[in-house]
Structure 1
Amino acid sequence: MTVSRDEVLAAARRIDGRVRRTPVLQVSPTLAFKLELVQHVGSFKPRGAFNRLLSAKEQGALTGQGIVTASGGNAGLAAAYAARELGVPARIFVPRTAPAPKVARLRTLDADVVQVGNEYAEAHEAAVAASEESGALLLHAYDQPEVVAGQGTLGLELLEQLGGFDTVLVAVGGGGLIAGVATALEERARVIGVEPELAPTLHRALEAGEPVDVQVGGVAADSLGARRLGALAFDAARRYDFGSVLIAEDAIVAARNELWQDYRLAVEHGAAVAYAALTTGAYEPAADERVVVIVCGANTDPATLG
């Protein structure tokens, strides 16, 4: 399975008017933040959710049975929001470890929330079974072509907003965002994956030569807690030759606090991972290298910010 840039362009046309064109904050002449944390429901995920649902609707596959998905939180919020906007029911399976604020928010979006297991992978198994039993459309959190193409629209926006840049730092969980962005950019800029040390799905896949299961945990597991890199993300990593840098727990926490203290950006831990690549020196840009950090999610408890 692969996703083409033409599919990303088609996704941009399909979801136009459904998602926000999020702003870019030019921090310095060589550093910019793509503020996807101000997207609907607080993350980039509605891009892929809307593209999957609208594509299915075009094909007559979005019925009164609605949709079913699994999520650590953000993908579920996006699915529930898109389903509500399109007038179909949504059933969201989340791990029992999902943060209470995300679960509460899901219910405000009229979703049927089912908590099962302790990891995203267990919630996904339950979602697949529910889809097969009910006939509801299955929306994968990160490993469906329509989802990846939808996430890639963020990359198209960056090209329009900034013109030229050299490198994009992207947090990686299951890999839908980095696969979509790399496909949209199509080597117009370097793409670097950034992962928590305790959830290294891309790193381990590149080592093994294929996606493999990894143990996941840590402060960012609610949003970057996929146990295995998606097949589409692995294909994109091979096609566009992007690698991964790993970030320690304390560095993620520190980067999150710095984003709040210096820029007043209240982000979840997963959204601070990409920025931590710069604050720790895990990725060191050249003197004139133009870097974009995707700040991808804001679903957090502000009371925990330092």
Structure 2
Amino acid sequence: MQQRQLGYDDVKAAAARIAGRVRPVALAPGDRDGLWLALEYLQHTGSFKARGAQNFLQAHREAGTLPDSGVTIASGGNAGLACAWAARQQGVRATVFLPATAPRVKVERLRSYGADVRLVGAEYAEALAACEEFAAASGALASHAYDHPLIAAGAGTLLEEIHERIPDLDTVLVAVGGGGLFAGVAAAARQHGIRTVAVEPEHSRALHAALAAGRPVDVTVDSVAADSLGARRATALAVDPGHGDGIRSVLVPDEAIVQARRLLWDDRRIAVEHGAATALAALLPTEDTDHGYRPADGEKVCVVLCGANTDPATLLTAPEAQDTPAG
């Protein structure tokens, strides 16, 4: 299957393909009028990635292109979990490459799904290179954490479900690593006249840099959310919709991410990873007008809490004492 640009028809096809195979998104009101939280961390495997993995493998099953040697993927953790889970459902093996810095909780869960876990390098890019070598040598089907239309379209089904429940939604905020969730959500949101706000850590800004350059470019990665938002390069699928109407790209500092994650725990007993808290961090009050997103009066906003594969013990320690992965 050759990569191509993503359209709304891809999202609709994904929705039909994965119907009954993923959990419908749960929604909860936020702490002010017009604010909603999409609790996608309750999804199978603990993140939205289950949608794209299910769509990817099911499409290959239908096309007769799912090999006996199984599937392989490089991941910071969540995409690998989703791939291993979907592969087990399809009855094929999964070989998952992760940076050696991946959180232990994700590695242990991967092995619980029966995946062959291989830890390589300190950043996602190094794990990806090893995965590509393995796919070429073994004949395994190479999946991707975010850079594939089937993966992004599966992620976009999340917005379809949100729109069904909140038909008058104005804006959706999503955290961005490599841009697959953003690309899928933006494709569906544009169809419904909904603004998409892409939120990234200020020191892990692959999409923000790509939009400034007009093409994907490499960036350095140094963020508390790097284990899930640590892509050095955004997918081209995200750069194209990023230039369209109704799109905003904003940055947030690590301090706001840590604060948002702590607030979710203190106020709601929601334990999410830093990457999921990044979207909410954009709404925190700040005097720095260069960061975050400020909704207009009466604007109806939904924040996607996209993953919860985290060690809850880190919520009980000071932020400076937490182990911060590099990639």
TM-score (norm 2): 0.92
2-side partners of 1:19 and 1:240: how far apart? Answer: 30
Instruction: Give the drift of 1:240.
Output: 4.5
2-side partners of 1:193 and 1:97: how far apart? Answer: 25
SS in 1 for 2:282: helix
Instruction: Give the drift of 1:160.
Output: 0.6
Partner of 1:255: 260
The aligned amino acid for 1:285 is: P
Deviations, residues 50-85 of structure 1 (Å, cap 9, x unaligned): 111011111111121110000000000000000011
SS in 2 for 1:68: strand
2-side partners of 1:206 and 1:262: how far apart? Answer: 35
2-side partners of 1:240 and 1:67: how far apart? Answer: 36
1:36 and 2:46 equivalent? no
The aligned amino acid for 1:107 is: R
The aligned amino acid for 2:307 is: G
The aligned amino acid for 2:277 is: A
Instruction: Give the drift of 1:194.
Output: 0.4
2-side partners of 1:238 and 1:128: how far apart? Answer: 30
1:61 and 2:65 equivalent? yes
Please list, as runs of the form range in 1=range in 2, the aligned pairs for 1:111-126 lying within 5 A after superposition.
111-126=115-130
Instruction: Give the drift of 1:241.
Output: 5.3
1-side partners of 2:139 and 2:247: how far apart? Answer: 37
2:26 maps to which of 10, 23, 27: 23
The aligned amino acid for 1:303 is: A
Give yes or no for contact 2:209–2:216 (8 Å, CA) kept in 1: yes
Instruction: Give the drift of 1:98.
Output: 0.5
The aligned amino acid for 1:17 is: G
Please list, as runs of the form range in 1=range in 2, the aligned pairs for 1:227-238 lying within 5 A after superposition.
227-238=232-243
Please list, as runs of the form range in 1=range in 2, the aligned pairs for 1:1-306 lying within 5 A after superposition.
1-27=4-30, 28-187=32-191, 188-240=193-245, 242-281=247-286, 282-306=292-316
2-side partners of 1:284 and 1:241: how far apart? Answer: 15
Deviations, residues 220-279 of structure 1 (Å, cap 9, x unaligned): 000000000001111121234523111111111011000111121100000000100001
1-side partners of 2:46 and 2:168: how far apart? Answer: 27
Q: Judge which range, 41-50 or 28-37, deviates more.
A: 28-37
RMSD: 1.1
2-side partners of 1:173 and 1:100: how far apart? Answer: 20
Instruction: Give the drift of 1:26.
Output: 1.4
SS in 1 for 2:310: coil
The aligned amino acid for 2:130 is: A
2-side partners of 1:232 and 1:62: how far apart? Answer: 23
Change (3 A) 1:240 1:115: farther
Indicate the percent of aligned positions where both proteins have the same amino acid.
Answer: 55
Q: Judge which range, 275-284 or 140-149, deviates more.
A: 275-284
The aligned amino acid for 1:71 is: S
1-side partners of 2:58 and 2:132: how far apart? Answer: 20
Give yes or no for contact 2:46–2:307 (8 Å, CA) kept in 1: yes
1-side partners of 2:285 and 2:149: how far apart? Answer: 33
Give yes or no for contact 1:182–1:240 (8 Å, CA) kept in 2: no
Gaps of 5+ in 1: none
Instruction: Give the drift of 1:208.
Output: 1.2
Instruction: Give the drift of 1:198.
Output: 1.5
2-side partners of 1:208 and 1:10: how far apart? Answer: 32
2-side partners of 1:161 and 1:253: how far apart? Answer: 29
Give yes or no for contact 1:199–1:215 (8 Å, CA) kept in 2: yes
Flag as ranges the 4+ runs of structure 1 deviating above 6 A.
none
TM-score (norm 1): 0.98
SS in 2 for 1:239: coil
Gaps of 5+ in 2: 287-291, 317-327
